[in-house]
Amino acid sequence: MKKIFLLSAIILLSISCKAQEIYQTSNNTVLENSKPKLVIGIVVDQMRYDYLTRFYNKYSEGGFKRLMKDGYNLKNAHLNYSSTKTAVGHASIYTGTTPNIHGILANDWYDKKSKEYINCVGDDNYTTIGSSSKKGERSPHRIQVSTIGDQLHLAQNMNGKVIGVGIKDRGAILPAGHSANAAYWYDGDDIGNFVSSSFYMNELPKWVQKFNTEKKVDEYLSKTWDTYYDISTYTESTSDENDYEMKFKGKSTVTFPYDLPKLRDLNGNYSLISETPFGNSLTLDFAIEAIKNENLGKTKFTDLLTISFSSTDYIGHGFGVSSKEVQDAFIRLDKDLERLLLFLDTQVGENNYTLFLTADHGATEVPKYLKDQSIPARYIDKKKLRKHIKDIAEDLFKSENLIEHISNNTIYLNKKEVKKLKLDLTDVQQLIADELINYKGIYKTITARTLQTNEFTEGFMSLVQNSYNQKLSGDIVFMYKPSSISDYYNNGGTTHGTGYNYNTHVPLLFYGNGIKKGESSTYQPIINIVPTLSTILDIEFTNGNTGRVIEDVIK
**Active centre residues (catalytic):** 86
**Closest alpha carbon to 147 in 168, 173, 186, 118:** 173
- Say which DSSP state 515 is in: B
Amino acid symbol at 543: N
Please give the Cα distance from 338 to 351 (Å, whole number): 16
Say how far residue 383 (Cα) sits from the centre of its chain.
29
The C-alpha torsion from 524 through 150 and 140 to 99, rounded to 10°, is 30
Amino acid symbol at 244: Y
**Closest alpha carbon to 313 in 479, 84, 524:** 84
**Closest alpha carbon to 187 in 202, 205, 167:** 167
Q: Is 531 helix (H, G, I), strand (E, B) or coil?
A: helix
Angle between the 324-344 and 311-319 helix axes, to the nearest 10 degrees? 170
C-beta neighbour count of 257 within 10 angstroms: 11
Burial class of residue 209 in the structure, from the number of CB atoms within 10 Å of its CB (0-12 exposed, 13-18 middle, 19+ buried): middle
The DSSP bridge pattern shows strands 182-187 and 193-197 to be antiparallel
Burial class of residue 443 in the structure, from the number of CB atoms within 10 Å of its CB (0-12 exposed, 13-18 middle, 19+ buried): middle
Please give the Cα distance from 392 to 394 (Å, whole number): 5
Check if the beta carbon of residue 516 is closer than 8 Å to that of residue 131: no
CA distances 526 to 85, 171, 287, 311, Å, are 14, 16, 24, 21
